[in-house]
Chains A and B, each alone.
Chain A
Amino acid sequence: MKIDWQEYEDGGLDPEMKRKADELLKSSPKARQELEGLRQFRKALRKAALAEPVPARSLRDRLRQITRPARQSAGWRWAGAAVAACALAVAAVVFMPRTPGQIAPSAGSPVRLATSSVPQAHQFASRHASFSVPTVQLAGTASLDGVECCQTFVCYDFMLDGELYHVKINEEPCTIGEVVERDGMQFRDAAYIAFESDGLTYRVSGGTEEGRWIIAEAVAQERASASTRA
């Protein structure tokens, strides 16, 4: 009797042939060896094909590139609304009729220092912010361009591949955007990329999306290392 062991393996034998095949397997070592050979062959094939390297990260990035236009358009809509709101606020301040002697409010207004020195930027920001300002050192990833701060926030500016990025730090938690996990850390992906560390929220904006992720991940890793050291 001849059994098609491939049919047997794939469940294609009719019940009668299946019964005969099972009987043969019980009585014939050669039949068992033959079936085992087929199983080993399939296993070896699967193992070989699955061992091939897959550029998983690059594929994930390509997937995000495809879905990005939809996200960008939503982001730009928010950005547009924010710009319009700021313009209205500025116009209101500039054109608002003032009584003689009245001065524009200065308390809490942001001040800026152009510097590439991280300690200098940190010292400057610490003088103005009402919270304990962290040092953000991205040497090797991006260069510091300056710092802007007031009582409620500190914003470090970084240059990466000719693009300007802002890392804004404050105590307001971020609740918008999709939660994304990268390298064991949680981010929020909205018009900017946000994450929390030691009670502060870091928001990375500006530049390109790819650049924002590079900066956000670098800052997050830097903060994680700083927390560990502390």
Chain B
Amino acid sequence: MRRDFERQVSKELNVLYRVARRMGCKPEEAEDCVQTCLLKAFQAWERFDGRHLRSWLITILRNERLMAIRSQKPEISLEESNVEEGIEEPFWDEVSWKMQAERILEELEHLPENFRMTLHLCDVEQMTYEEAAKAMDVPIGTVRSRLFRAREMLRKRLTPVGTELSRATT
């Protein structure tokens, strides 16, 4: 059992660490968070059904993180409105995305956590909607809507105001 757990889970360590960082953990805190998650997972390993290991681990990681911060600060209300903001084209081709990684990560941190997580799971870790939905314990439709909104929010944060104006006049 131990060997099986170590073999399978060791492949997910980097992903868990990155997810912990996206959840707002500082580097050292992220390691602790991952370790707590691993301990819980090890204790529950015999009850794991063997499907979607990554999603299962991320669910544990999220729950642990939520429990840890619940006592520290009031729960953030997560915006789930379906208000369409009406994207004006061109939208995606305006700026060169070959920008510095630091800037992208910095702006990513400003998104509400659930949006940030969805973006990370789907676009960075390349999980399917189904896997991401399972990891965050939400319907697939919610993953889709969060993902779209998160991309737009991040893209808007990364686009300098002046760029849009200059494009609009040309």
Chain A interface residues (CB < 8 Å from chain B): 2, 4-7, 10, 12, 30, 33-38, 40-52, 54-56, 58-60, 62-67, 70-71, 178
Q: A37-B93, A44-B98, A67-B42 are in contact. Are A52 and B6 (CB under 8 A)?
A: no
> Is chain B's interface secondary structure helix, strand, loop, or mixed overall?
helix
Q: A10-B147, A34-B93, A66-B39 are in contact. Are A44 and B18 (CB under 8 A)?
A: no
CA distance A34 to B104 in the complex (A): 20
Residue of A nearest to B105 (CB): A48
On whether the beta carbons of B120 and A37 are closer than 8 Å, the reply is no
Number of B residues with CB within 8 Å of any CB on chain A: 48
On whether the beta carbons of A12 and B119 are closer than 8 Å, the reply is no
Residue of B nearest to A31 (CB): B89
Among A10, A55, A63, point to the contact of B6 (Cβ < 8 A).
A63
Which among B27-35, B59-67, B74-82 touches the partner chain?
B27-35
On whether the beta carbons of B90 and A45 are closer than 8 Å, the reply is no
Within 8 Å CB of B102, what residues of A?
A: 48
Within 8 Å CB of A55, what residues of B?
A: 17, 27, 31
Chain B proximity of A175: nearest CB distance (Å): 17
Chain B proximity of A14: nearest CB distance (Å): 14
Chain A proximity of B147: nearest CB distance (Å): 7
On whether the beta carbons of B92 and A49 are closer than 8 Å, the reply is no
> Is chain A's interface secondary structure helix, strand, loop, or mixed overall?
helix
Told that A47-B101, A178-B3 touch, could you supply 11 new A-B pairs with CB distance under 8 A?
Answer: A34-B91, A37-B93, A45-B154, A48-B101, A48-B104, A49-B108, A50-B18, A55-B17, A59-B34, A62-B34, A66-B42
Q: Does B148 contact A (CB under 8 A)?
A: yes
On whether the beta carbons of A41 and B101 are closer than 8 Å, the reply is no
Chain B interface residues (CB < 8 Å from chain A): 1-3, 5-6, 9-10, 13-14, 16-18, 21-22, 27, 31, 34-35, 38-39, 42, 89-94, 96-99, 101-102, 104-105, 108, 119-120, 123-124, 126, 129, 144, 147-148, 151, 154-155
Within 8 Å CB of A30, what residues of B?
A: 89-90, 93
On whether the beta carbons of B34 and A34 are closer than 8 Å, the reply is no
On whether the beta carbons of A41 and B97 are closer than 8 Å, the reply is yes
On whether the beta carbons of A64 and B6 are closer than 8 Å, the reply is yes
On whether the beta carbons of A45 and B124 are closer than 8 Å, the reply is yes
On whether the beta carbons of B120 and A49 are closer than 8 Å, the reply is yes
On whether the beta carbons of B90 and A42 are closer than 8 Å, the reply is no
Chain B proximity of A119: nearest CB distance (Å): 41
CA distance A47 to B99 in the complex (A): 11
Chain A proximity of B109: nearest CB distance (Å): 11
CA distance A63 to B11 in the complex (A): 11
Residue of A nearest to B126 (CB): A46
CA distance A218 to B96 in the complex (A): 49
Chain B proximity of A137: nearest CB distance (Å): 32
Chain A proximity of B44: nearest CB distance (Å): 12
Within 8 Å CB of B18, what residues of A?
A: 49-50, 52, 54
Residue of A nearest to B1 (CB): A70
Closest 9 CB pairs of A and B: A37-B93, A37-B92, A48-B101, A44-B97, A38-B92, A48-B104, A49-B124, A59-B13, A40-B97
Within 8 Å CB of B9, what residues of A?
A: 63
